Amino acid sequence: MTAHTLSAPAPTSRQSHRISADDAADMLMRHREGVLPALALFDVRDEKSYLNAHIAGATRLAEATFPLQIRGLSRSVPVLVYCYHGNASQTYAQWFADFRFPEVYSVDGGYPAFAAALALRDAERADAAMAGTDASAGLLAFLAEFGFDALDLDAPRQHGLTPLMRAALAGRADLIDELLRCGADVGRRNMDGNNALWLACVSSNADSVRKLVQAGIDIDNRNDMGATCLMYTASAGKAEMVALLLECGADPQIMNFDDARAVDLAATRTCLQLLRHTIG
């Protein structure tokens, strides 16, 4: 691909348009904090690499999609481009420059260097956010491991999971307890409409379930398919979880979008026996 094939105007500059990973990270952090109002971030690696891992907020850009994506982008918006190691991104940066984008940068070191620089800044922000609190080293390490924002304990990451949901999925009742003390919202739902209680049932951790119920979580929350935690545990044959949810006050009469109750979904005789009083 060349500037000629895109009918670009004659370039006025052949600068390298390079930026260090540290400076790129600072630029992106300013944008995330609202100091830099607009920023276009592009990942020019192959689709598999992009899907496996990419900088949050980055749009995948390929030679075939470049003409279309450039048409909808204001030339006043600064542009950051990264690739594997910082080589291919220089070519893309030059294409942007050829189209009269005045502020466009290729990130030296590519994705690994950029991601590492951002991780360092996130860690620094986490340390600052937790300074003066009684947050444990374990919680800080947990937040850092999954890329959570210590300044916003309700901000979701992969699959729409918040730190509380992730802790519930891991069966970490200790972290659930600490997150609740730090103000984590039990009312948050993930991209499927499930709250943290559903994830605690997935991990089959009774302590996690009890802590979340005591914190006031909606025990009868229906997800985007109309299913409750009781329905899930019954259909998964998790008899101990079914018994615990009933003990905690879960409503067995709620129906999903197919007019089925937990008893109708029971996968084992034990679950059916626990729910037999709801038949009729």
- How many other CB atoms are there within 10 angstroms of residue 73's CB atom? 16
Q: Is 243 helix (H, G, I), strand (E, B) or coil?
A: helix
| 83 counts as catalytic | yes
- Give all strands of the β-sheet with 40-43 in edge-to-edge order: 18-19, 104-107, 79-82, 40-43, 59-60
Residues making up the chain, counted from first to last = 280
Buried-exposed string 181-208: b where 16+ CB fall within 10 A, e elsewhere: ebebebebbbeeebbbbbbbbbbebbeb
Amino acid (one-letter) located at 54: H
- Residues 227, 262: Cα–Cα separation, whole Å: 9
Sign of the dihedral defined by the CA atoms of residues 70, 75, 77, 82, in that order: positive
Beta carbons of 90 and 18 less than 8 angstroms apart: yes
- Residues 45, 248: Cα–Cα separation, whole Å: 49
Point out the catalytic residue in the list 83, 201, 229, 271.
83
- How many other CB atoms are there within 10 angstroms of residue 145's CB atom? 9
Buried-exposed string 106-119: b where 16+ CB fall within 10 A, e elsewhere: bbbbbbebbbebbe
Q: Which positions are catalytic?
A: 83
